[in-house]
Amino acid sequence: MSAIELRDVSVVLGGRAVVDRVSASVAEGEWLALIGPNGAGKTTLLRAIGRLVPFAGEIVLDGRLVAELPRGELARLVAVVPQEPVTPPWMTVSEYVLLGRTPHLGSLAKEGRRDREAAARALARLDLLALRERRLETLSGGERQRAVVARALAQEARIVLLDEPTAALDIGHQQQALELLDGLREESGLTLVAAMHDLTLAAQYAERMVLLDGGRVAAEGAPADVLTEALIAGHYGAAIDVVPVGGRIAVVPRRRAVNRDG
């Protein structure tokens, strides 16, 4: 059974189909990258899967219709890491990560031992135990990003949706964050769907890609099948070279003037 099944999913915002009849499926334990130019509908599609926008069509998670799941149950199935998460400055890292336990608690309950264990595991996994008492405002960008991922882990959902997980990070922290997610996927069989702008990073980590343009699926498949000069030129309007790197591929932008002269 696939972890995520999208059937003719459309999202209309302001009279425009931002996501237009998208069908796709993601296998359990798979890393799927959503790529596409700005405004292609990547973020909106992720939000639809998390039922944060109204959508038409069917989204099935672990065999269950998203539209019919109670909110709490949906949150136990899927965790969402937004592109710009809100990190209240006064909150400690522990408090923030414990909020990830919300779907496992009644609205009147407080965290019990099981919840604190889950949060402690997530903190340990993200190497944040030493920072657990620190307020979020005192963390660096990279540490804060780890806290956000730790919160998603504490949620103990099998599916994690990430919107540009590395947008705010330098190249070292980008690599760290993606290695970490990949490790978690391998260890615990998480299913990851990440919207990514950096095509080289996407090619390095994702097993499969969906290229969106104008809300529609323009291409789908292994990175080598999607990241072709023709497809990227056609949908991003970018001139690139695809070069093999360590068994995977990298995307290198080509300067047009240089190209013309050469």
Partner 1 sequence: MSAVAEHTSDVRARGLTPLWACSAVAFLLVSLAIGVLAGPVDLAPGAVLESVAARLHVPGATTSLSPTEEAILWEIRVPRVILAALVGAMLATAGATYQGVFRNPLADPYLLGVAAGAGLGATIAIAYLPEGLRGQRALPAAAFVGGVVAVMLTYAVGRSARRERDAATLVLAGVTVAAFFTAWQTFVQQQNAETLQQVYAWILGNIPSTGWSDVVLILPYVAVAVAVIIALRRVVDVLSLGDDEAASLGVDVRRVRLVLVVAATLGTAAAVAVSGLIGFVGIIVPHTIRLLFGVGYRALLPLSVIVGAGFLVLADVIARTALAPAEIPLGVVTAFIGAPFFALVLRTMRGGSA
Q: What residue ranges bind partner 1 (CB under 8 A)?
A: 47, 50-54, 71-76, 78-80, 82, 85-86, 88-92, 94-95, 97-100, 102-103, 105, 107-111, 113, 116-117, 119-121, 123-124, 129, 132-133, 135, 137, 155
CA distances from 119 to 44, 86, 126, 155, 199 (A): 29, 19, 11, 8, 32
- Write down the least CB distance from residue 4 to partner 1, Å: 15
Which residue is it, tokens 């999202």?
11
Query: Is 11 in contact with 49 (CB distance < 8 Å)?
Result: no
Distance CA 199, CA 227 (A): 8
The SS3 assignment for 11 reads strand
Nearest to 79 by CA among 97, 95, 58, 93: 97
Q: Which is nearer to partner 1, 1 or 86 (by Cβ)?
A: 86
Report, in Å, the least distance between residue 155 CB and partner 1: 7
If the CB atoms of residues 47 and 208 are measured against partner 1, the closer one turns out to be: 47
Tokens of 167: 């947008």
CB of 228 vs partner 1, minimal distance in Å? 34
The enclosing H or E element of 126 equals none
Let me know: does 174 contact 165? Beta carbons within 8 Å.
no
Cβ closer to partner 1: 79 or 250?
A: 79
Residue 32 CA to residue 145 CA, distance in Å, equals 20
**Least distance CB 8 / partner 1 (angstroms):** 22
Considering beta carbons, is residue 98 or 181 the nearer one to partner 1?
Answer: 98
Q: Is 57 or 103 the residue whose CB approaches partner 1 more closely?
A: 103
State in angstroms the smallest separation of the CB of 111 from partner 1.
7
Q: 């990258």: which residue's tokens?
A: 33
